[in-house]
Amino acid sequence: MIFARKVWHVLVAVKDGLALLFLLLFFAVLFAALSSRPNPGAVRAGALLLKLDGAVVEEPQIFDPISRLMSSQAPTNEYRARDVVMALRSAAKDDRIKVVVLDLARFTGGGQVHMQEIGQALDLLRAAKKPVLAYATLYVDDALLLAAHSSEVWVDPMGGAFVAGPGGKHLYYGKLLERLKVDAHVFRVGTFKSAVEPYIRNDMSPEAREASGALYGSLFDAWKADVARARPKANIAMATADPAGWLKASGGDPAQAALAAGLVDKIGDPVTFGNRVAELAGKDPHSKLPGAFAHTGLRTWLAANQPKHPGKPIGVITIAGEIVDGKAGPGVAGGERIAQLLDEAQDQDLAALVVRVDSPGGSVYASEQIRGAINRIKAKNIPVVVSMANLAASGGYWVSTPASRIFAEPSTITGSIGVFAVIPSFERALGEWGVSTDGVRTTPLSGQPDVVGGLSPEISAILQANVENTYGKFLRLVGQARGKATQEVDAMAQGRVWDGGTARQKGLVDQFGGLDEALAYAAGAAKLAEGDWHPLFIGADADPYASLLERLMGDDDGEASGSAHDLAGLIALRQNATISQALAGAERLLGRTGAQAICLECPAAPVRPAAASENLGWLARIKSLMAQI
Q: Tens digits of per-residue pLDDT, 400-415?
A: 999 999 999 999 999 9
626 versus 199: the higher-pLDDT residue is 199
Tell me what pLDDT residue 65 has: 58
Q: Which residues pair with 386 in a beta bridge?
A: 355, 406
Percent of the chain with pLDDT over 70: 78
Residue 621 has pLDDT above 90, yes or no: no
Q: Indicate the helix (H) or strand (E) that contains 147.
A: helix 141-147
Coil, strand or helix at 332: coil
Tell me what pLDDT residue 446 has: 84
Any catalytic annotation for residue 15? no
Tell me what pLDDT residue 19 has: 72
* pLDDT-wise least confident of 45-59, 206-220, 446-460: 446-460
Q: What does the pLDDT average to over 247-252?
A: 95
pLDDT band with cut points at 50, 70 and 90 for residue 43: confident
Residue 571 has pLDDT above 50, yes or no: no
Model pLDDT for residues 261-279, shown as the tens digit of each residue: 999 999 999 999 999 999 9
CA 119 to chain CA centroid, Å, is 18
Q: Which residues pair with 103 in a beta bridge?
A: 51, 135
* pLDDT-wise least confident of 127-136, 346-355, 461-470: 461-470
Catalytic residue among 150, 194, 387, 394: 394
Tell me what pLDDT residue 39 has: 59
36 versus 339: the higher-pLDDT residue is 339
Any catalytic annotation for residue 193? yes
Catalytic residue among 130, 193, 387, 411: 193
Tell me what pLDDT residue 562 has: 44
Residues 6+ apart with CB under 8 A from 316: 353, 354, 355, 356, 515, 519, 535, 536, 537, 538
Q: Which residues pair with 100 in a beta bridge?
A: 48, 132
Q: Which residues pair with 399 in a beta bridge?
A: none
Tell me what pLDDT residue 218 has: 94
pTM above 0.95, yes or no: no
Task: Quote the DSSP letter at residue 513.
Answer: -
Domains present along the chain, CATH in parentheses: 40-170+203-305+547-608+620-628 (3.90.226.10), 312-418+457-540 (3.90.226.10)
Residue 364 has pLDDT above 80, yes or no: yes
Length of the chain: 629
Q: How far apart are CA 216 and CA 238, in angstroms?
A: 20
Residue 438 has pLDDT above 90, yes or no: no
* pLDDT-wise least confident of 314-323, 515-524, 561-570: 561-570
Q: What does the pLDDT average to over 142-155?
A: 97
